[in-house]
Amino acid sequence: EVHLVQSGAEVKKPGESLKISCKASGYTFTNSWIGWVRQMPAKGLEWMGIINPADSDFRYSASLQGQITMSVDKSINTAYLQLNNLKASDTAVYYCARQHDSASGAYLFYFGAWGQGTLVTVSS
Amino acid sequence: IQMTQSPSTLSASVGDRVTITCRASHTITNNWLAWYQQKPGKAPSLLLYKASTLESGVPSRFSGSGSGTEFTLTISSLQPDDFATYYCQQYNSYSPLTFGGGTKVDIK
């Protein structure tokens, strides 16, 4: 069974940086892209970017360019999201999600498995 | 591609037939559209992809249809477990991927 387990909640101050982990199990880590999606309080879903664990190819949302870095460590089947220069408006639940099996090998990104979410609070 | 869902909130009773609409600002080719269900405090869960393909394990009361710029999610007979928020997502273009604003289905 596929599992994505994320790191725990974080409280940060404005201007600080954040790194969230997403550990995958139950499938071959390098076979599926990993996406990151955030959800601000009582709001909808916002796509942040995607990364291919096989070669670290990535695509970022234009609105987050310069603030976001995605990476993977294939040796421990873990993907990371780093967000720099945090603002209060970055307060959200952050999710990692795995590209669906039926889309594997294609540039089709819908997500069949999700992490449990990581609550990030940015406050002075 | 911008995705607009309607309604934003829907009040319904157990047993009702429910339809949610998702409209795209540009044509979505090959019906590259997914639907998710999200319950409070939980991650989203995939219901359908390619507009009408049911994800494994999802009850058959959920169905999807549409093409081009207009898509619908239908729940044929609403069950207590279905009270949740539903999102559409286009994956026609991954620059960027976009979600609809969500439709909350609550108890009438």
pLDDT tens-place string over residues A70-92: 999 999 999 999 999 999 999 99
pLDDT band for position B20 (50/70/90)? very high
E strand or H helix that includes residue A5: strand A3-6
Report, as an integer, the average pLDDT of A2-28.
97
Q: Does A3 touch chain B (CB under 8 A)?
A: no
| Closest chain B residue by Cα to residue A113 | B45
SS (H, E, C) chain B: CCEEEECCEEEECCCCCEEEEEEEEEEEHHHCEEEEEECCCCCCEEEEECCCEECCCCCCCEEEEEEEEEEEEEECCCCHHHCCEEEEEECCCCCCCEECCCEEEEEC
Q: Does B1 touch chain A (CB under 8 A)?
A: no
Q: What does residue A41 show for φ and ψ, rounded to 5 degrees?
A: -50, 125
| C-beta atoms of B94 and A116 within 8 A | no
Contact A88, A14 (CB under 8 A): yes
| pLDDT score for B51 | 96
Distance from CA of B97 to the nearest CA of A (A): 6
Which amino acid makes up residue A11? V
Q: Does A58 touch chain B (CB under 8 A)?
A: no
Q: Does A109 touch chain B (CB under 8 A)?
A: yes
pLDDT at residue A9 above 90? yes
pLDDT band for position B50 (50/70/90)? very high
**How much of chain B exceeds pLDDT 90, in percent?**
92
pLDDT band for position B93 (50/70/90)? confident
Query: Looking at beta carbons, which residues of chain A come within 8 Å of B49?
Result: 100, 102-103, 110
Q: Which of B32, B87, B91 sits opposite A45 (nearest CB)?
A: B87
Distance from CA of B17 to the nearest CA of A (A): 24
Q: Does B40 touch chain A (CB under 8 A)?
A: no
Report, as an integer, the average pLDDT of B85-99.
91
Q: Which residues contact A78 (CB under 8 A, 6 or more apart)?
A: A21, A22, A23, A24, A72
| pLDDT score for A103 | 87
Neighbours of B6 (CB within 10 A): 13
pLDDT at residue B95 above 80? no
| Closest chain B residue by Cα to residue A95 | B43
Q: Which of A44, A61, A112 sits opposite B101 (nearest CB)?
A: A44
